[in-house]
Chain A
Amino acid sequence: NAGVIQTPRHKVTGKGQEATLWCEPISGHSAVFWYRQTIVQGLEFLTYFRNQAPIDDSGMPKERFSAQMPNQSHSTLKIQSTQPQDSAVYLCASSFGTINERLFFGHGTKLSVL
Chain B
Amino acid sequence: GEKVEQHESTLSVREGDSAVINCTYTDTASSYFPWYKQEAGKGLHFVIDIRSNVDRKQSQRLIVLLDKKAKRFSLHITATQPEDSAIYFCAASKNNNNRIFFGDGTQLVVKP
Q: Which residues of A contact B (CB under 8 A)?
A: 4, 6, 31, 33, 35, 42-43, 45, 48, 50, 55-56, 91, 93, 95, 97, 99-100, 102-108
Least Cβ–Cβ distance between B78 and chain A, in angstroms = 22
Q: Is the CB of A100 within 8 A of B43?
A: no
Return chain B residues, CB-CB under 8 Å to A102.
34, 46, 49
Given contacts A42-B104, A43-B102, contact A99 B49 (CB under 8 A): no
Q: Is the CB of B43 within 8 A of A105?
A: yes
- Dominant SS at the A interface? strand
A31 to B96, CA, bound (A): 15
- Considering the complex, give the chain B residue whose CB is closest to the CB of A33: B98
A33 to B42, CA, bound (A): 16
Q: Is the CB of B45 within 8 A of A105?
A: yes
Q: Is the CB of A100 within 8 A of B93?
A: yes
Given contacts A6-B43, A95-B98, 13 further A-B contacts (CB under 8 A): A4-B43, A42-B104, A45-B99, A45-B101, A45-B102, A48-B98, A91-B44, A97-B98, A100-B32, A102-B34, A103-B34, A105-B36, A108-B42
A95 to B49, CA, bound (A): 15
